């Protein structure tokens, strides 16, 4: 899964312009795992892996701003579900 995401990212023209360091970005509460390509020279890039929250497509390269907007929206939806639930401890993760 990670190798596939790295191969997809490698095809993105933005990746060839800078030296990126590959990291993993994980948000357990959202069930989100992504390859995070970090550089100080440009915007970071993200490639979500496997099952993703609504608004994010797996194996697609996202620029930092677009990715984080979708992550914040997913976190807001998850938080709202817990606030509205009668028994939040039964919602699971």
pLDDT of residue 92: 61
Give the integer Cα–Cα distance in Å for 55 and 46: 14
In a domain, 93, yes or no: no
Number of domains forming the structure of the chain: 1
Residue 68 scores a pLDDT above 90:
yes
In a domain, 26, yes or no: yes
Report DSSP state, residue 52.
Answer: -
With 0-12 CB in 10 A as exposed, 13-18 as middle and 19+ as buried, what is 79? exposed
pLDDT tens track for 6-56:
999 999 999 989 999 999 999 998 999 999 999 999 999 999 999 999 999
**In which domain, by residue range, is 60 found?**
2-87
The pTM (predicted TM-score) of the whole model is 0.85
State the CB neighbour count (10 A cutoff) for residue 40: 8
In a domain, 92, yes or no: no
84 band by pLDDT with thresholds 50, 70 and 90: confident
């Amino acid at each position: 899964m990670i190798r596939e995401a790295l191969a997809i990212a490698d095809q993105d023209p933005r990746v060839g312009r800078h030296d990126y360091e590959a990291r993993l970005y994980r948000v357990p509460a959202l069930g989100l795992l992504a390859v995070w390509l970090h550089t100080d020279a440009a915007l970071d890039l993200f490639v979500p892996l496997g099952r993703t929250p609504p608004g994010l497509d797996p194996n697609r390269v996202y620029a930092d701003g677009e990715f984080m907007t979708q992550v914040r929206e997913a976190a807001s939806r998850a938080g709202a579900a817990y606030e509205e639930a009668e028994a939040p401890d039964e919602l699971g993760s």
